[in-house]
Amino acid sequence: MSLLTRNKAPKLADHNAGRQLFGSRWATITVWIIAVVWTIPSLGLFATSFRPKADISANGWWNLFVHPHFTMGNYSAIFSTSTVSGIPNGILPYVINSFVITIPAVIFPITIATMAAYCLAWVKFRGSDAVFYGIFALQIVPIQLALVPLLNLFTTGVHLGHYTLVPGLHIAGKFLGIWVPHTMFALPLAIYLLHNFISSLPRELMEAANVDGASHFVVFRRIVLPLSIPAIAAFTIFQFLWVWNDLLVALTFTGGTEGIDPLNNKLAGLAGTWGSHWELLTSSTFITILVPLAVFFSLQRYFVRGLLAGSVK
């Protein structure tokens, strides 16, 4: 190497380091700007939930910082047992209904998908690849196309002329009638994600377990399931957020049954016919947001690892 080349090398290295530092600073600034802009609507919702009805109608939520006027009446009203915009018992029963709907609708597809993914990844049988591709292809079916046929199956069954192929299941308007659709709609994506992760586990582990005489159930319970926690946690976040925030499936399969309505069904009408209860809508919506946030932050350490499941060995 010549003297001139040796002199240029440190300068080139310093120049590259400076460009990387400059780029990382701009990337950090950009991320912060996006985060602030993304948070502004939530901040407005939070601020509005503490404002009186008269102030909400008079000016924007940012005036709260200029002329502070807080009240806890909105939160006490939505939990009160008096009539609140057509909800005589407050929102607490519907919050409980949302938990009763969401928790099983998360557990059922994860349980089924984890076992199916292990079977498709490590228990090879004739046509296993075709089954996997068929399950993957089900993701392209729009949910809206399946709602009415499923509702007919749950109520009157399937008929061909005068013949009854499948009798009515009579589960519409019950919690089971909401768990089943959520489980069915979640399985294709769940099996696909978990299959990619489970199939990337070291083959040596499976072969060693087979040599030791372990059955498929033992391998699944002692090896596959503990190692698949990141992928399971990542899908749990997606499924919980989807079911908790769902309105379409709940409206379709509750059948107007008052006792099983989730919170979102009531939030749709909480503002009143003429939009006269916006202060109650904001406080109720903020309560709804807190639950998914708690789930996300409790599982966030697995989130990125789960998203990258199966991409690298």
CATH 1.10.3720.10 in the chain, residue ranges: 92-308
Q: What's the one-letter identity of residue 236? A: T
Instruction: Please tell me the predicted confidence (pLDDT) of residue 271.
Output: 56
Give the closest residue to 171 by CA, choosing from 252, 56, 108, 273.
252
pLDDT, tens only, 196-205: 889 888 888 8
Class of domain 92-308: mainly alpha
- What does the angle CA 188 – CA 194 – CA 199 come to, to the nearest 5 degrees? 120
pTM for the whole structure? 0.80
Q: Residue holding tokens 């007919």?
A: 152
pLDDT tens-digit series, residues 45-69? 888 888 888 787 788 888 877 888 8
Is residue 102 within 8 A of residue 292, CB to CB? The reply is no
Question: Rounded to whole angstroms, how far apart are CA atoms 108 and 99?
Answer: 14
The H or E element containing residue 243 is: helix 229-244
Give pLDDT, residue 264. Answer: 84
